[in-house]
Structure 1
Amino acid sequence: MKAFILSLICITMLASCKSEKTSEVKKKSRPNIIFIMSDDHAYQAISAYDDRLIETPNIDRLATEGMLFTNACVTNSICAPSRATILTGKHCHLHGKIDNHFAFDTTQVTFPQIFQNNGYKTSIFGKLHFGNNPKGVDEFSILPGQGNYFNPDFITSKGDTSIQGYVSDIITDMAIDWLDREAQDDEPFMMMYMHKAPHRPWWPRPDKFEEFTKRTFPEPATLFDDYSNRGTAAKTAEMNLLTHMHYGHDSKIRPETKSEMGDQLVPLVEEWKNGFAYPYGRASKEQKAQLDPVLDSINNYFKANWPTMSDKEKMQWKYQRYMQDYLACISSVDDNIGRLLEYLDETGLAENTIVVYTSDQGFYLGEHGWFDKRFVYNESFKTPLLVRWPGVVQAGTVENEMVQNLDFAQTLLEAAQIDRPADMQGESIIPLLRGDKDNWEREAVYYHYYEYPSIHMVKRHYAIVTKEYKLIHFYHDVDEWELYDRLNDPNEVNSIYDDPSYADVVKQLKADLVQMREKYKDSPELDKKFIEKYNQKLINR
């Protein structure tokens, strides 16, 4: 009898050990995933890419401990379409969200749904931008539309709510709280942690507001670009700091200051009526008490100096005001990413968690005199991408192969050992993450922007981009081509499309572009269809 009991104990212990080992193997073979995305975060504003504007030590950790991509880019540089592409792994003309006006095709399968159907716990916290009931997540808390910086409202899986505080801090609190509740067992998780910042209008947390308004930032080389040697599109876009950046909405000039100065202010193309009042009005009494001394300083300086400034000085002042607020918002994002990374370290989750940091697209920080995005020119076309995957990605590596947000869904699915749907159009970047360039064959990427005529008036265009060249076709109310030598003209100020010495390059890229449009199932017929639908939508407004 004793022998039987001892045998039973041994068998039980062996079974328990086997179960624990199986669990460990399962956990190691099925990594957790945290997908972090900010809104409009320019790669130039991450010190791992360029430290002239800001230090971002916590985001930089992902580069130091993982891989930094220098040629990551988007398929369409505008918020909601980019997010739809990330979720579906498809170009805009297939998922239907070609711009911020058209609805997302809700029959499309998103990668969180696939994760959820394959044994992952799933969640999303922060800014989704479209759709109030995200599919494929066990728990969500998302900002309605653009959301607010101060005391934001949230749509949650348990009902609507409003939370006092600063949005970047609150979103991080939600993410850490979910990890605390749901990530402490062997079941793998996939969490989307999505910051609103640094989307316009840029309202920093009060302490950051005070800190950054005391700083002065270097000007980009093309701040006073005159758009010579380029076509109509660059010349007619409405995103110039001097003439299109709003006094109240952007530069924090109070309505009473504007009223007092009257004719001393040059009328802008458009000045949003509640651009200052609404976001400021979201702040509590205590928050306003912290904001007001800084706002007083800005407005007093503006009243005393603006009337006598030259246009050049006004442009420089607007640039500094823009950078102070934009970068202050990013500083809060970086602080909060630091909080999350520390949590992963403290709980031991970091060892088996892939952390991805990106933005929904790039952004102009005064380059070409602009703010915003939309163009296929570098600052909006390129996007930050940093990936940390312990035990797989070699720490401190830099990758210059061309990858796109089109690839994210496929990559994450492969990392989780989940089969991808056949209709996804991206390419998994797992070979690059593993240092296996022999199994990476992409030579060029495809881009297509649709939202015209609309805010900022960036003309419709599509493009093929290689490491060396960028060929762009602007269409609809124009028919113009531009070609840029990306290696010899990194600022993209000189289109060489008509240069005879590049005739062979143009010919080859045009042929490649035709093939690429066919590959991705885009076509002139679709271009015409979307224009007609867009025009009808404008008529019906």
Structure 2
Amino acid sequence: MKFSPVLLTIGLVLCLFSCADTEQETASETPSRPNILFIMSDDHAYQAISAYMDHLIQTPNIDRIAKEGMLFSNACVTNSICAPSRAVILTGKHSHLNGKIDNRSPFDTTQVTFPQIFQDAGYQTAMYGKLHFGNNPKGVDDFMILPGQGNYINPRFITAEGDTTIEGYVTDIITDLTIDWLDKKRDPNKPFFMAYLHKAPHRPWWPRPDKFKEFTKKTFPEPASLFDDYSNRGTAAKTAEMNLLYHMQYPHDSKIRPETLEAMGEVKPEVPGFAGGFNGPYGRTNDAQRAQYDPVLDSINQFFQENWPGMTDEEKMKWKYQRYMQDYLGCISSVDDNVGRVLDYLEESGLAENTIVVYTSDQGFYLGEHGWFDKRFIYDESFKTPLMVKWPGVIEAGSTNNEMVQNLDFAPTFLEAAGIDVPTDMQGESLMPLLKGENDSWDRDAVYYHYYEYPAVHMVKRHYGVVTKEYKLAHFYYDVDEWELYDRMKDPQEMNNVYDDPEYADVVAELKDKLAELRVKYKDSAELDQKFIDQYNK
């Protein structure tokens, strides 16, 4: 049987229209999987984000994520120290199961990380910035990572092709690389997971020269507990070595030149310092960069040499606090500027519409509270971490959530958002119900915390604990056996340990039961505690 050319043409056209309609129906029924941009800074205290508190600094670009999405007011970590926190995020497992309990122990490379799962599911993956452990991140198609802590000035990067050094300021460079990947290296036919990881504001807090000049002219309000004497607290708080006056180092932290200290002779209080604490970062500058830093450094050093010997201890503490805040917040100002650059790129490129943007830190940080810097404790300033998530069309703009969530939850959340099955051995809970405003389906009432790195730098004792919205119970162990309880509603600064207060006896009993329950749930135990102590002491 023969068909005329006209009939064949008509049939072909009808078929094409029919197929096109079918494809459009399928596309509308199956939305494209979301991209994920995971932004993490290092040691960024929630107190230094104006979406949380605006007494220290304005961070309008980071705040954009909260204004366009959700801010979590009770986000926290499982172990407040850099590399272990990152291992928890990557694996969705507590430190005692993923093996990375402290900065010293190696990461178990047999552990499956969530970028590997994304890669297997067809996502394009990339990582730029600070990983902090391992030179060959798993599950990423492209990476440029800082070795170890990395450098602020003219940083070196590890790549699949070898090491490379890039001239400039690290926060700007990581952003340049990230935008370049999004713009030129990304496969537009695949969804992506991008880890955009800042070194800042990690110690030793070297701002970019213009920020250094700007912020040294600023004065910042002091925290109410700057001169905390740790009364009504246990041994741990009293023996920790992270006091601004007695442990913050003159060259490494306050930017006092070694030759200034040498010319002054005896400087009190005497603070042991890292070899090359000043010259390590400063020695990386080229002539042009040094010319920008020197006038500000000269001013700081001149003031210190002329005034320090005659200051009281109280005046010295206040001066050190201001120097600390000037440098720390100067670093954050650059992070905020650069986050704005990336958000602008997403908007201008059209990627923002289908991209989940997350901003967080690997943990919190002390900004003079209790007289401290650093982190490690279960106390709020180090235990809590910033967390903001925006996802157009899913998360209600400007919403706030106060449920107890942890960095343990990130991996399951990302996987569920991408429609990927969550491995059964991950211990976190997906935050998807909370992101969608379905708080009633969230049943977690307490989180578990465990810190291991002792004896070590800052000498914060080993401890584990349970935290609810209302209370915090911690057990310090190893060379002590002490308990602390804080009423988070009545004592938000955690100045009064009420563990032995008879009025809280029922709370103590209830929380000890809850703590025992969580230790079983998360497969932690006294036997594991001893195992890690024995490993540490070898």
| Aligned match of 2:234 | 231
| Aligned match of 1:80 | 83
* Equivalent pair of 1:167/1:196 in contact (CA under 8 Å): yes
| Aligned match of 1:117 | 120
Deviation at 1:9, TM superposition (A): 3.2
| Aligned match of 1:497 | 499
Tell me the distance in 1 between the aligned counterparts of 2:467 and 2:419.
Answer: 31
1:439 aligns to 2:418 (yes or no): no
Tell me the distance in 2 between the aligned counterparts of 1:92 and 1:168.
Answer: 28
| Aligned match of 1:479 | 481
1:330-409 mapped onto 2 (5 Å cutoff): 330-409=332-411
1:513 aligns to 2:515 (yes or no): yes
- Could you tell me which of 3, 8, 11 is aligned with 2:7? 3
| Aligned match of 2:246 | 243
Tell me the distance in 1 between the aligned counterparts of 2:442 and 2:339.
Answer: 31
* Equivalent pair of 1:410/1:426 in contact (CA under 8 Å): yes
- Could you tell me which of 200, 204, 207 is aligned with 1:201? 204
| Aligned match of 1:138 | 141
Flag structure 2 segments of 5+ consecutive residues without an equivalent: none
Tell me the distance in 1 between the aligned counterparts of 2:454 and 2:25.
Answer: 57
Deviation at 1:63, TM superposition (A): 0.6
| Aligned match of 1:300 | 302
Tell me the distance in 2 between the aligned counterparts of 1:188 and 1:402.
Answer: 30
Please state whether the residue corresponding to 1:177 is helix, strand or coil. Answer: helix
Tell me the distance in 2 between the aligned counterparts of 1:143 and 1:184.
Answer: 24
When structure 1 is superposed on structure 2, of 184-193 and 50-59 the one drifting more is: 184-193
Structure 2 residue identity aligned to 1:339: R
Structure 2 residue identity aligned to 1:477: D
* Equivalent pair of 1:70/1:399 in contact (CA under 8 Å): yes
Tell me the distance in 1 between the aligned counterparts of 2:24 and 2:303.
Answer: 66
Tell me the distance in 2 between the aligned counterparts of 1:189 and 1:24.
Answer: 20
Q: Deviations over 1:26-59 (max 9, x none)?
A: 5x34100000000000000000000000000000
* Equivalent pair of 1:89/1:407 in contact (CA under 8 Å): yes
Please state whether the residue corresponding to 2:203 is helix, strand or coil. Answer: coil
| Aligned match of 1:309 | 311
Tell me the distance in 2 between the aligned counterparts of 1:152 and 1:474.
Answer: 39
Q: Deviations over 1:64-119 (max 9, x none)?
A: 00000000000000000000000000000000000000011100000000000001
| Aligned match of 2:40 | 37
Tell me the distance in 2 between the aligned counterparts of 1:283 and 1:9.
Answer: 67
Please state whether the residue corresponding to 1:238 is helix, strand or coil. Answer: coil
Flag structure 1 segments of 5+ consecutive residues without an equivalent: 537-541
* Equivalent pair of 1:258/1:265 in contact (CA under 8 Å): no
CA 1:18 to 1:347, structure 2 compared with 1: closer, same or farther past 3 Å?
Answer: farther
Structure 1 residue identity aligned to 2:384: K
Please state whether the residue corresponding to 1:383 is helix, strand or coil. Answer: coil
Deviation at 1:16, TM superposition (A): 4.4
| Aligned match of 1:454 | 456
Tell me the distance in 2 between the aligned counterparts of 1:319 and 1:14.
Answer: 71
Structure 2 residue identity aligned to 1:88: T
| Aligned match of 2:182 | 179
* Equivalent pair of 2:59/2:333 in contact (CA under 8 Å): yes
| Aligned match of 2:213 | 210
Please state whether the residue corresponding to 1:356 is helix, strand or coil. Answer: strand
Structure 1 residue identity aligned to 2:300: I
CA 1:417 to 1:288, structure 2 compared with 1: closer, same or farther past 3 Å?
Answer: same
Q: Deviations over 1:346-379 (max 9, x none)?
A: 0110000000000000000000000000000000
Q: Deviations over 1:506-527 (max 9, x none)?
A: 0110111111100000000000
| Aligned match of 2:468 | 466
Q: Deviations over 1:369-401 (max 9, x none)?
A: 000000000000000000000000000001000
TM-score with structure 2 setting the length:
0.98
1:12 aligns to 2:23 (yes or no): no
Please state whether the residue corresponding to 1:446 is helix, strand or coil. Answer: strand
Deviation at 1:24, TM superposition (A): 6.4
Please state whether the residue corresponding to 1:414 is helix, strand or coil. Answer: helix
Tell me the distance in 2 between the aligned counterparts of 1:427 and 1:25.
Answer: 27
* Equivalent pair of 2:124/2:187 in contact (CA under 8 Å): no
Q: Deviations over 1:300-319 (max 9, x none)?
A: 11111101110000000000
| Aligned match of 1:275 | 277
When structure 1 is superposed on structure 2, of 183-192 and 49-58 the one drifting more is: 183-192
Deviation at 1:186, TM superposition (A): 3.4
| Aligned match of 1:539 | none
Tell me the distance in 2 between the aligned counterparts of 1:67 and 1:184.
Answer: 29
Q: Deviations over 1:419-477 (max 9, x none)?
A: 01100000111100000011100000000000000000000000000000000000000
Tell me the distance in 1 between the aligned counterparts of 2:268 and 2:60.
Answer: 40
1:168 aligns to 2:157 (yes or no): no
Tell me the distance in 2 between the aligned counterparts of 1:20 and 1:335.
Answer: 40
Structure 2 residue identity aligned to 1:354: I
Please state whether the residue corresponding to 1:263 is helix, strand or coil. Answer: coil
CA 1:289 to 1:5, structure 2 compared with 1: closer, same or farther past 3 Å?
Answer: same
Deviation at 1:23, TM superposition (A): 5.0
| Aligned match of 2:72 | 69
Structure 2 residue identity aligned to 1:86: I
Q: Deviations over 1:258-280 (max 9, x none)?
A: 10011144311x21120000100
Please state whether the residue corresponding to 2:157 is helix, strand or coil. Answer: strand
Tell me the distance in 2 between the aligned counterparts of 1:172 and 1:10.
Answer: 50
Tell me the distance in 2 between the aligned counterparts of 1:245 and 1:460.
Answer: 22
Deviation at 1:4, TM superposition (A): 1.6
Please state whether the residue corresponding to 1:176 is helix, strand or coil. Answer: helix
* Equivalent pair of 2:250/2:256 in contact (CA under 8 Å): yes
CA 1:25 to 1:257, structure 2 compared with 1: closer, same or farther past 3 Å?
Answer: farther
* Equivalent pair of 2:245/2:269 in contact (CA under 8 Å): no
CA 1:346 to 1:104, structure 2 compared with 1: closer, same or farther past 3 Å?
Answer: same
Tell me the distance in 1 between the aligned counterparts of 2:365 and 2:463.
Answer: 18
Please state whether the residue corresponding to 1:190 is helix, strand or coil. Answer: strand
